Amino acid sequence: MLMHTGFLIHSAVEAWARETPDAPAMVFGGETQTYAELLAASQRLAAALLENGLQRSDRVGVFLRKGLDLGPAIYGALLAGGAFVPLDPAVPVERLEFMLRDGGIRHVVTSGAMRPTLARLAERMGDTTEAPILYGVDSVDGMVTVSSAEIAARDARDPGVWITDQDLAYLMYTSGSTGEPKAMMHSHRGSLSYARWGLQHVRLTPEDRVASHAPLHFDLSIFDFFSTAQAGGAVVLVPEAVTKFPASWTELVEKERISVVFTVPFTLIEMLERGALDQRDLSGLRWVLFGGEPFPPKHLRALMERLPHVRFTNVYGPAEAPSCTCHDVEPIAEGDDTPISIGTVSVGSDDLILDESDEPITDGAPGELCIRSTTLTLGYWNRPDLNERVFHRRPSFGPFPDVYFRTGDLVQRGEDGRLSFLGRKDRMIKTRGHRVELDEVESALASHPAVQEAAAYTEADGVGSRSILAAVTLANPDDAAITPATLRHHARAKLPPYAVPREIAIVAEFPRTTSGKIDRRALETDVPTP
């Protein structure tokens, strides 16, 4: 196993471009981008960014669908000394505008395929100093653009920007309880620690072909890009259309001889049940990592039996402290429905379980998991109030306290030292691997002028994940123009697709607790009807 000692997250790409310039770095749609080509394209973009005023640690939005321009967008931003910010291509324009303004994002790498959304964004932002410069698109009315041809005309050379491993590498936006997204800050040091954990645990080599199944705005993708680059392997970008069809997905795994996959349990369950595994030669697949939510043991056991040559690892870690624990799954006995352990802390991490009084638990009782890790976020962008709440400080041997991240997850340590995940302490849920604050869903629905109150809740979807449901009361109960369909349309304009409730009930009144609050637990068991 080879590993380069560079202290920046993009150092490995530079090293492999020198040592194995013709080795595949990115693969998409039958086309291959070598390490030399990836570095050259990244350097040209870095030059364009710097010429247009990018400063150290400035944020660079990456607003792209899967394709060979994705790698240069990431590494170009990093080579220029900036921090990349994944922007979900399916996000409503209102949410996109918020992230650009909140993150102070003045540079966005994009493509002509995103022009319709960019045109609506230009209309919303108008001729303001906050409107970003767009790279990779020919023209968008009202926006300054730098075309792909202009970028390609620049020299491919080291931009010579000096940064340290403490500098910002990327921001990752996620759902926020106030109804607005919040962004986690990750440094080069933390990103590199995460990448090297993946390299070492999975024992990646230059021969590995790692699937990039998750979208860039999902933290699993950081393993795909950066751990693979540490090893000098190839990232196989999975087209978005393929991710929606299990048989097409397994066909791609076979065709591209993919050796490592990191995805969510839902994808693997679909792969098992509708992926035509009996028609596939997946002998090239050697390791499957999964995370984001619990994997029902019955489905995992069946998949392990279908793929007996593959190793399976349950990777736990919020996006604030990725891969802080993991568990290499052993064969599961028939009838054993014990939840899959999230294992023990990974190298470079330490855990602490706190009771309701914030005192450490040592007797195996349930409590909130707190994590101290080299992969830990620097904090939330522009949210000192939130940083104060989510970091737990304890006295240390030196003058500075140990700082732990409060995950909000309830766990219990077994006699073997392994951790069992028991559920969430707050109202953030995970659906098919995506984190969603139910408060944000309620805020989006409640913003409709006709809605008086909104409540979001979940139910099991039968494949190991949770579906989001919602109920609303109307200001005018007799308003026949307001239907569940109109409310879903309203929600789609404010929420990412995975956060839009599957069903919305219009109810006469909500069940209440004795304190007068909406009783959401009652909603989960008995949805009221008008």
Q: Which of 391, 424, 457 is the last residue of a domain?
A: 424
Percent of the chain predicted with pLDDT > 90:
76
33 shares its domain with 99: yes
pLDDT, tens only, 187-215: 999 999 999 999 999 999 999 999 999 99
Q: Given the structure tokens 């918020």, which residue do they identify?
A: 98
Task: Evaluate whether residue 76 is within a structural domain.
Answer: yes
Q: Which of 252, 284, 286 is nearest to 271 (CA)?
A: 252
What's the mean pLDDT in 300-325? Answer: 95
Give 98-146 pLDDT, tens digit per residue.
999 999 999 999 999 999 999 999 999 876 677 899 999 999 998 999 9
Which of the listed residues 137, 163, 189 is the one where a domain comes to its end? Answer: 163
**Residue 381 reports pLDDT greater than 50:** yes
pLDDT at residue 3 tops 60: no
The H or E element containing residue 454 is strand 451-460
In a domain, 190, yes or no: no
Q: Evaluate if residue 79 carries a pLDDT over 90.
A: yes
pLDDT at residue 523 tops 90: no
Q: How would residue 515 be classed by pLDDT, with cut points 50, 70 and 90?
A: very low
Instruction: Give pLDDT, residue 291.
Output: 92
Give the integer Cα–Cα distance in Å for 174 and 390: 15
Residue 384 CA to residue 483 CA, distance in Å, equals: 40
Please state at what angle helix 35-51 crosses helix 70-79, rounded to 10 degrees. Answer: 60
Say what percent of the chain tops pLDDT 70. Answer: 96
455 and 415 housed in the same domain: no
Same domain, 371 and 435: no
Which of the 8 DSSP states describes residue 223? I
Q: How many helices (H) and strands (E) does the chain have?
A: 17, 27
pLDDT at residue 497 greater than cutoff 60: yes
Q: What pLDDT shows up at residue 179?
A: 66
Q: Could you list the residue range(s) of the whole structural domain that residue 405 is in?
A: 344-424
Nearest to 301 by CA among 278, 271, 333: 333
CATH of the domain at 417: 2.30.38.10
The mean pLDDT of the chain is 92
Task: Evaluate whether residue 8 is within a structural domain.
Answer: no
Domain total for the chain?
A: 3
Q: At what angle do helices 438-446 and 484-492 cross, to 10 degrees?
A: 110
CATH number of the structural domain spanning residue 77: 3.40.50.980
517, 437: one domain: yes
Answer yes or no: do 62 and 109 share one domain: yes
Structural domain ending residue among the three candidates 424, 455, 479? 424
The residue-averaged pLDDT of 234-255 equals 96
What pLDDT shows up at residue 530? 46
Spatial contact of 295 and 464, defined as CB atoms under 8 Å apart: yes
Answer yes or no: is pLDDT of 397 > 80. no
Report the distance separating Cα 227 and Cα 232, nearest Å.
Answer: 9
Amino acid type, 163: I
pLDDT at 431: 86
Mean pLDDT, to the nearest integer, of 451-472? Answer: 87
State which amino acid sits at residue 434.
Answer: H
Residue 292 located in a structural domain:
no
pLDDT at residue 527 in the model: 63
**Does 494 lie in the same domain as 471?**
yes
Same domain, 372 and 484: no
In a domain, 11, yes or no: no
Q: Mind listing the pLDDT tens digit for each residue in 47-59? A: 999 999 999 999 9
CATH assignment at residue 516: 3.30.300.30
If phi > 0 it is left, if psi is from -120 to 50 it is alpha, else beta; for residue 203 that is left
Under the banding of pLDDT at 50, 70 and 90, the label for residue 177 is low
* 233 lies in some domain: no
* 38 and 125 together in one domain: yes
Residue 336 inside a domain? The answer is: no
Q: Note whether 518 and 401 are same-domain residues.
A: no
The Cα-based distances of 484 to 207, 385, 431, 444, 505 in angstroms read 51, 36, 21, 14, 7
Question: Which among 486, 448, 469 is positioned nearest to 527, based on CA atoms?
Answer: 469
Same domain? For 55 and 155 the reply is yes
Q: What average pLDDT does the segment 270-287 reach?
A: 96
Residues 51 and 137 placed together within one structural domain of the fold? yes
Asked whether residue 114 is domain-assigned, the answer is yes
* 414 in the same domain as 508: no
